[in-house]
Amino acid sequence: MAPEAGKPLEASELSRGVLDAALEFETTGDLEPLEDWPGQERALDALRMAAESRFSDFNLFVLGNPGTGRRSAVRALLSGAAESLPRPSDWVYVNDFDDPRRPRAMDLPPGRAMVLKAAVEKLIDDLANEIPAVFESEDYQARRRAIEESYSDRQEQAMGELAEKARARGVAIMRTPMGFGVAARQGEEILTPEAYHDLPEDTRERIDAAMAEISAELEEILGQVPKGMKAQRREVEALNVEMTEHVVDDALSEVKAEFAGEDNALRFLEAMRDDIIENADLFLIREDGATAGAFPVATTKHYAKPQFRRYAVNVMVSQPHTNGHGAPVVEESLPTLANLIGRIEYAAEQGALVTNFTMIRAGALHRANGGFLVLDARQVLIEPFAWDALKRALRSGEISIFSAGERLSLISTETLEPDPIPLKLRVVLVGERMLYYMLTAFDPEFAELFKIEADFDDRMPRDVDSAKLFARLAGTIARREDLRPLDAPGVRRLLLESTRLSDDAERFSLNLGRLSDILREADHWAGGAGSETIGAPHIDSAIEAAERRAGRLRELSQEMIHRGTLMIDTDGAHVGQINALSVLEIGKSRFGRPSRVSARVRVGSGKVVDIERETELGGPLHSKGVMILSGYLAGQYAPEEPMSLWASLVFEQSYGGIDGDSASAAELFALLSALSELPIDQSFAVTGSVNQFGDIQAIGGVNEKIEGFFDVCAARGLTGRQAVLIPETNIKHLVLRRRVVEAVESGQFRIIPIATIDQGIAHLTGRDAGARGADGRFPEGSVNALVEARLQAFAETRRSFGLRNGQEKGKP
């Protein structure tokens, strides 16, 4: 009987040619460069929408596979959009002189933060010289001496007048180690106690009265001394303030003039003026070997003298000062919590951690404020607290600085509570599609904060227009990378490789990263050949070299098959044995490899044992495929009989996990062979999945699978009988290497598409599968007839066994 199957494919169907109408040029140097990304119109429209929208919650998630130009497109479009936006304000932190634990956030016009910082540094340097000079001046010293002498003269005059009065009354005022005292006197002599007692009683009474009066007046005079000293200090302090005000106001007038109209800066300068005047003594502290100025020529992040840190300006963000526009575009490659929202640093002093407002550091949100912040979604999600901090900032519209230690209550040292800084920016997350879908499903806030998605496609349709765009794209990549231009055959070869990368002969790949790698390596080969352009041979050399570098595992697998370590037959025929095809992807290596699938059958209760699943080596998709073929058997054969089959299926010499259903057709063919006892031609290999109705379904990696079996056959010698059965729906995905195409063209190898299980089993066994007739029977001798007869025999055997077993149990 003639096989009921499709015809082998022609060589022209194995690798689609390029549409030559698109390649009417000499080299890509003649083509106009591309300013956009071909095939990404949907994603680019979303990017433009996010960049131009004025709504704060229109943040963007850019999804797609790496290498599709996502990041370069984001950078280019955001940079263009940022140029039309107003330049955002500068932000600084300054000391709150009333509460140093709560530094004040202050915004300034663009470019003015560094000007203010420099002006304040110069001001403090000047005052550090001028204030000490004022207090050392002759004018100050004379005025201070006058104040001091004024109080001293008044005290001395009072004491002198009291001394004269005491002398006239016969009393002496004496200075003792314990202070001042009074005593009786006679002339210039101080009376001793004995002499005093020898005086007449009335004389002693007169002297005692005089001493009491003089003592009272002396006490009153001495009681005025502290008040006088206090008044003196107040006058000295008033003099100090007067002198300091004059110096500070004179020095500050020039700085205030420079910041006229900038209210925040003027308010800070005024608060600083009051604090300097109140704490002028800070400027009188002298250290051995210290310079006269507060700020040395080579400044560091800490001021030279700690007492002047209170007047520093901590610049968080400073935009370049221009007359035009332009918002920042910041890309943070390491979005830790501190790198996002900023941090407060600490220094160890005498065994304790201390900080101040000059140790507040800006994060990416500060630098991008007023513009765009680009983040890698995966990196943000894996950094502790970073994702939560980003959402918190976007929700609240302000940047609050905190640390992970504070969040977990691990820090007990005193810290700062800086003012939050208002936030207005657009965040762009770049990540894989799976991350986007998971965030949408599991984070209810995500959809509220990121309302726009830009989905970058991996492929574009294969037609003349897209081929022309692709040629321009190749030329643009060559210009950007400073490579040689491509000639038309070179572009044709690159287009062919692009269709292979897309796993679809009707699509071009948009994996710009991979295409760029090929072009750069091809440029190396072109240079070695002395060519002025990149041609098809150079593209071939680049592709072959890359495959050779990553081919050790593939070669090892082929060697094990060639030496018989892995048992794969490519000739002969066996019952219940077939060559299935799989794809291994390890690192950059991706290759096809044949595997032997075997099946054994006997009478049973309708169970098909998947040995891979039973040993926990099979994945859920593989198990699903086995269950589907069980459904096919039950529905296709002996519908009136109970399923009385026990079967086992296994991938021989497989010691790792197996998943996917692309071998389910091969497993079903092995089962049909075991049931019909018809041998399968081992010159064939099979790939494809099957549904419950026996239709063969498309699978992935068809090119690598075919090439893997071809390489085994080629190593042993091509016979012309060897072939691969593939799903008919996979024809449009074929972009095979030239070695396979040439073998098919010369009749040494075949690729046969099949649409149904019946077509496939006919090819594998050389016998017609057979269709059920009007009488409900399959044609005599057909594969399906043999399978059904075997299943009916199993059912009869099972029935007979059951009856016999029942009779045995019923014996007395």
Catalytic residues: 662, 705
Could you identify the residue written with the tokens 């050389």?
Answer: 766
Q: How far apart are CA 22 and CA 131, in angstroms?
A: 81
Q: How far is CA 722 from CA 571, 683, 711, in A?
A: 8, 4, 11
Could you identify the residue written with the tokens 């790949």?
Answer: 509
Backbone torsions φ then ψ of 654, nearest 5 degrees = -110, 120
What is the rounded (10 degree) CA torsion for 492, 494, 496, 502? -150
Backbone torsions φ then ψ of 657, nearest 5 degrees = -70, 150
Question: CA 282, 284, 288: angle at the middle one, nearest 5?
Answer: 110
Query: Could you tell me if residue 114 is left (phi over 0), alpha (psi between -120 and 50 degrees) or otherwise beta?
Result: alpha
Q: How far apart are CA 309 and CA 294, in angstroms?
A: 10
Is residue 360 within 8 A of residue 416, CB to CB? The reply is yes
Q: How far apart are CA 172 and CA 211, in angstroms?
A: 9
Which tokens is 444 given?
Answer: 């209810």
What is the rounded (10 degree) CA torsion for 95, 96, 101, 102? -100
Residue 228, classed as helix, strand or coil, is helix
Q: Is 145 exposed, middle or buried (0-12, 13-18, 19+ CB in 10 A)?
A: exposed
Could you identify the residue written with the tokens 């299943």?
Answer: 791
Q: Kind of pairing, strands 179-186 and 347-349? A: unpaired
List, as one string, the DSSP characters of 20-79.
Answer: GGG--SSBGGGSPPPSS-TT-HHHHHHHHHHHH---TTB-EEEES-TTSSHHHHHHHHHH
Query: Bridge partners of 458?
Result: none
How far from chain centre, in Å, is Cα 326?
Answer: 25
Could you identify the residue written with the tokens 């519908």?
Answer: 639
Q: How far apart are CA 375 and CA 385, in angstroms?
A: 15
Q: How far is CA 642 from CA 575, 633, 791, in A?
A: 25, 12, 9
Q: How far is CA 785 from CA 2, 521, 775, 776, 780, in A?
A: 16, 58, 13, 11, 6
* Other residues' Cβ atoms within 10 Å of the Cβ of residue 272: 22
Q: How many DSSP H helices and E strands does the chain contain? A: 26, 30
Q: How far apart are CA 549 and CA 317, in angstroms?
A: 48
3-state SS track over 94-126: ECCCCCCCCCEEEEECCCHHHHHHHHHHHHHHH
